[in-house]
Structure 1
């Protein structure tokens, strides 16, 4: 009987030691969430670099178009208008990138960092969605005019506008519908998963602090 009791005590001691070895400490959990946050920030930077590239390429191409196009004032004005629309986006994404580059993710300020990132990304998504929802129909109309110019060499200034109204209006409506569907998919792909990751990490950190 004594041997059985000793065996039970030995087993309990071994089980306790094994549990202690495999137990995940609060610091380890915070470290894991710090790594997840840094990973999300790195991917977010890449996506913002992509957006900056798209905006910069658009500004450069239509800037060249505004200079090269001669004798077509409507096309020249269209190029300038697209440049003016893209420049604020270029500035906005550059500011967001600088904010992320200056961010120092540490376990000491992890909760504040996660909250800051979540608020920033939520604001970015809302602004990006609604401004592009307004611009998508105009973009499709402008795209039709650019195609007429580049593919068919038509002088946009000399178009029979009274015959173009219906075509442009249809393009405007299609642009609104397609723009909405595309933007929902695009934003979820580019930013939505990062926002979900950051929110999840923030909730886990709050739960850890409450449990402590």
Structure 2
């Protein structure tokens, strides 16, 4: 009987030591969330670099188009309009990138960092969605005209506009519908998943602080 009691006591000591060895401390949890936050920031930087590349390519492409089509003032105007619309996006994403590059993620200010990131990313997704919802229909209309110019060599300034109204109106409506669903998918893919991850980390950190 004494041997059995000794065995039970030894097992309890061993179990307690094992549990202590595998116990996750608050600092370890904070460290893990710091790593998650840093990973999200790294992926956000990559996505913003991609957006900057797209905007810069568009500005250069349509800038060249505007420069070499002086004999077609309507097409030149379309190219110039695209450049003007893209430049604010270029500046905005550049500022967001500089913000992320200057961000110092540490466990000491992790909660404030997460809150600021969530606010920044929420504002970015809202702005990106609504501005592009306005621009998507216009973009499809402009795309039709650019296609006529490049594929068929038509001088857009000499188009019979009275015959184009129905076609352009249909393009505008299609652009609005397609743009809505595409933007929903694209924003979720590029930014929405990261935003959800940051929100989850923020909630976990709040729960950890409340339990402390």
- Bin for the TM-score computed over the shorter chain: over 0.9
Deviation at 1:163, TM superposition (A): 0.4
Quick one: distance in 2 between partners of 1:185 and 1:116? 24
Deviation at 1:5, TM superposition (A): 1.9
Aligned match of 1:210: 210
Quick one: distance in 1 between partners of 2:35 and 2:71? 57
Quick one: distance in 2 between partners of 1:207 and 1:53? 39
Q: Secondary structure in 1 aligned to 2:56?
A: helix
Aligned match of 2:180: 180
Q: Secondary structure in 2 aligned to 1:50?
A: helix
Aligned match of 2:9: 9
Provide, for residues 24-43 of structure 1, a one-character-per-residue CA deviation record: whole Å limited to 9, x for no partner.
Answer: 11111111100000000000
Aligned match of 2:32: 32
Deviation at 1:166, TM superposition (A): 0.3
Quick one: distance in 1 between partners of 2:190 and 2:149? 32
Deviation at 1:10, TM superposition (A): 1.0
Q: Which runs of 5 or more structure 1 residues have no equivalent in the other structure? A: none
Deviation at 1:7, TM superposition (A): 1.5
Q: Secondary structure in 2 aligned to 1:195?
A: helix
Question: Are residues 1:104 and 2:121 paired?
Answer: no
Q: Which runs of 5 or more structure 2 residues have no equivalent in the other structure? A: none
Provide, for residues 123-147 of structure 1, a one-character-per-residue CA deviation record: whole Å limited to 9, x for no partner.
Answer: 0000000000000000000000000
Aligned match of 2:18: 18
Q: Secondary structure in 2 aligned to 1:104?
A: coil
Root mean square deviation, CA, Å = 0.6
Deviation at 1:51, TM superposition (A): 0.2
Deviation at 1:2, TM superposition (A): 2.3
Quick one: distance in 1 between partners of 2:10 and 2:70? 92
Count of residues in Structure 1 that have an aligned counterpart in Structure 2: 212
Quick one: distance in 2 between partners of 1:26 and 1:13? 24
Aligned match of 2:53: 53
Aligned match of 2:93: 93
Deviation at 1:6, TM superposition (A): 1.7
Question: Are residues 1:77 and 2:73 paired?
Answer: no
Question: Are residues 1:43 and 2:43 paired?
Answer: yes
Provide, for residues 152-177 of structure 1, a one-character-per-residue CA deviation record: whole Å limited to 9, x for no partner.
Answer: 00000000000000000000000000
Quick one: distance in 2 between partners of 1:96 and 1:70? 36
TM, length-normalised to structure 1 = 0.99
Deviation at 1:4, TM superposition (A): 2.0
TM, length-normalised to structure 2 = 0.99
Quick one: distance in 1 between partners of 2:100 and 2:86? 21
